[in-house]
Structure 1
Amino acid sequence: MEIDFTRLRYFVAVAEELHFKRAADRLMITPPPLSKQIKLLEKELGGELFERTYHEVRLTTLGAQLLGPARDILRQVDELKETAEQITKGTTPIRVGATAYAPSDFLAQLETAVARQPEPTEFSVPGSAAEVTAKLVSGHIDLGLIHLPSSDRRLRHKIVATYQGAIAVRFDDPLAGQEMVGIEALRDRDVVIDFARPNPVVLAGLTRRLNARGVTRIVRTTSQLGGELEMATQVFNRHLVAVVSYAPASAIGRIFSPPEFDLIPIDENTWPPAEIALAWVPDRLRHPAQMESLVDRISAAVAPVRHGLG
């Protein structure tokens, strides 16, 4: 039996998304060829990998049992490629990955800082902080930008940015026009935190903290991971309140800008700021001390650390 590694990657993507369109977007292809390649893989393996209905996609028993081995095979293939690249190219670049859900202006600063380091580097934005953490732990990247807190004790980290919380509301909302609000002002309001949906740990933590402050009406506005424009549209149409980071120069800050919206800082006495950190796994590195030196240099280059009114 011969199995195409590309088809295995397609299988894993669909299995993780349980949605052909999202998996196709992630793989940067269109759904029809993805569906065709999955069918060819099913033919090679002798059984169906997914149960497809109009409303959902589920793994079959065969698919569920093959998902783990497929991931292991792909990991080994990636490691083989990396080993060959190290041997043929000599110098191995330091691989830096960043969560796509950090403020966009800060990501631009970070990428510039990484590129200016004397060591050869590679910069990528693989997805959520959870995905960045997974790549750190698996050894696919050496340094990662993540949101805190992180539940993985294997990580070491250094905070490189702190963002004051903010709310985004429609221009004619009762809260619009205020210089600052307390988090208690969101009680009895429908509140959106969909920007955190790609990171289940952060999403759960935000939900618990809001509930503890008496903010319990958490609503969902996006049908897919991310979807800032969809979130903004529903905040406008349904008079919702979005809890975000106070980063007016970022992409999401510009989306929630006048004249349609008002972005208002949250009083830090009522809501702690968000922390973003550079993280690494010492056990995965040959020279952990060199990584700490690199982190210190990058951290200094992306100053100022604190964003907001304070």
Structure 2
Amino acid sequence: MDLDLRKVRYFVAVAELLHFGRAAERLHIAQPVLSRQIRSLEKDLDAPLFERDSHGVSLTTAGHQLLDDGRALLASADATRRRVRRSARGPHRLVVGFRAGIVLTRTLRAYGAAHPGIEVRARRVEWDDQERLILDGTVDLAYLRRPIREDGLTLLPLFTETRVAMLPGDHRLAGKPDLVRADLDGETWLRYADPGPDDVPIRSIEEKFEAVASGAGITLVPVSVAEQYSRPDITYVPVTDAEPDEVVLAWEAARRSALIEGFVQSVRGARD
């Protein structure tokens, strides 16, 4: 029997909330209907997905497995739906992602002037979704900063930038003409990737501002970020021996698109 994606979506809601009533509210369906759909899915798979007792609902081993696989399956189905809808609209719109600090205005204007029948839009991406938004079709290609999970992507290196320390305005090193990494020994560095279970991941430049200004820690940012974003309680100081920040243009390796190929060629031509 084919796996019913609607039932999988219902299952994921219950598995995430571990509560049939709240899951039914999220899904905008009646709880008895949701319960019947879950029982039907368990029958389809010939496996119990939940343990139900007086203390509530918990996942079985099979349920944990389906939650992992189901999330990936639903994400893939959603990406397929977006790509099909985009294809149905025809090759008339290009969405270009970019990280904070990277200015696309001149590139997008030049591309739009050379291709007047194509609508070009820009969308900001963050470090924790930059690859996913390309692979699921939300953006067609994007200007990314390393580190990058390269699986499934084609990368075109573009340029590097020096990095500067982002410090609270009253920091002991504020006002220095420049620093080296050793000057920052003993400082608390903000963590972005793989936060602990009780941590809130820092995603955007605005969140970095709040964390640094509050004294939670310091970080390094590309010089373009320092040039474009400022606050009176934040200061930037060049770090002469910091590893440069690398910017690349990335797109899905397996995707065939005349628009993407044309944009990449225009970028290559501008570099030559």
Question: Which of the five TM-score ranges fits, normalised by the shorter chain?
Answer: 0.5 to 0.7
The residue aligned with 1:172 is: 170
The residue aligned with 1:190 is: 188
Matched, 1:45 2:42: no
Contact 2:83 2:137 in 1 (8 A): no
Note the residue ranges of structure 2 that are not aligned, 5 or more in a row: 43-47, 52-57
Q: CA deviation at 1:163?
A: 2.6
Q: CA deviation at 1:274?
A: 0.8
Give the Cα–Cα distance (whole angstroms) in 1 for the partners of residues 159 and 201 of structure 2: 27
Give the Cα–Cα distance (whole angstroms) in 1 for the partners of residues 152 and 247 of structure 2: 17
Give the Cα–Cα distance (whole angstroms) in 2 for the partners of residues 9 and 136 of structure 1: 26
1:264 partner letter: V
2:251 partner letter: W
Matched, 1:262 2:235: yes
Change (3 A) 1:42 1:230: farther
**Residues 101-120 of structure 1: pairs in structure 2 closer than 5 A:** 102-104=99-101, 106=103, 115-116=112-113, 118=115, 120=118
Give the Cα–Cα distance (whole angstroms) in 2 for the partners of residues 188 and 179 of structure 1: 20
2:80 partner letter: E
The residue aligned with 1:241 is: 218
Q: CA deviation at 1:284?
A: 1.8
The more displaced of 40-49 and 129-138 is 40-49
Contact 2:212 2:234 in 1 (8 A): no
Q: CA deviation at 1:93?
A: 3.5
**Residues 133-282 of structure 1: pairs in structure 2 closer than 5 A:** 133-137=131-135, 141-152=139-150, 154-194=152-192, 197=193, 223-226=200-203, 228-238=205-215, 240-246=217-223, 247-250=225-228, 253-254=229-230, 257-258=231-232, 260-267=233-240, 270-282=241-253
Q: CA deviation at 1:296?
A: 4.1
The structure whose Rg is larger is 2
2:250 partner letter: A
SS of residue matched to 1:262:
strand
1:272 partner letter: E
Give the Cα–Cα distance (whole angstroms) in 1 for the partners of residues 214 and 153 of structure 2: 41
The residue aligned with 2:55 is: none
SS of residue matched to 2:103:
helix
Q: CA deviation at 1:262?
A: 1.4
**Residues 281-296 of structure 1: pairs in structure 2 closer than 5 A:** 281-285=252-256, 291-296=260-265
Change (3 A) 1:264 1:96: same
Q: CA deviation at 1:279?
A: 1.1
Q: CA deviation at 1:6?
A: 11
TM-score relative to the length of structure 2: 0.65
Contact 2:167 2:236 in 1 (8 A): yes
Give the Cα–Cα distance (whole angstroms) in 2 for the partners of residues 225 and 75 of structure 1: 26
Give the Cα–Cα distance (whole angstroms) in 1 for the partners of residues 74 and 168 of structure 2: 49
Identity of aligned residues (%): 15
Contact 1:5 1:74 in 2 (8 A): no
Give the Cα–Cα distance (whole angstroms) in 2 for the partners of residues 135 and 81 of structure 1: 11
SS of residue matched to 2:249:
strand
The residue aligned with 1:98 is: 97
Change (3 A) 1:273 1:285: same
Note the residue ranges of structure 1 that are not aligned, 5 or more in a row: 21-30, 52-57, 204-218, 304-310
TM-score relative to the length of structure 1: 0.58
Q: CA deviation at 1:167?
A: 0.9
Q: What number of residue pairs does the alignment pair up?
A: 249
Contact 2:94 2:120 in 1 (8 A): yes
2:177 partner letter: E
Q: CA deviation at 1:175?
A: 0.7
**Residues 42-81 of structure 1: pairs in structure 2 closer than 5 A:** 44-46=37-39, 61=61, 62=63, 64-69=65-70, 71-72=72-73, 75-76=76-77, 78-79=79-80
CA RMSD of aligned residues (A): 4.7
Q: Which residue of the other structure, out of 253, 263, 266, is the alignment partner of 1:297?
A: 266
Give the Cα–Cα distance (whole angstroms) in 1 for the partners of residues 34 and 204 of structure 2: 31
Q: CA deviation at 1:187?
A: 0.8
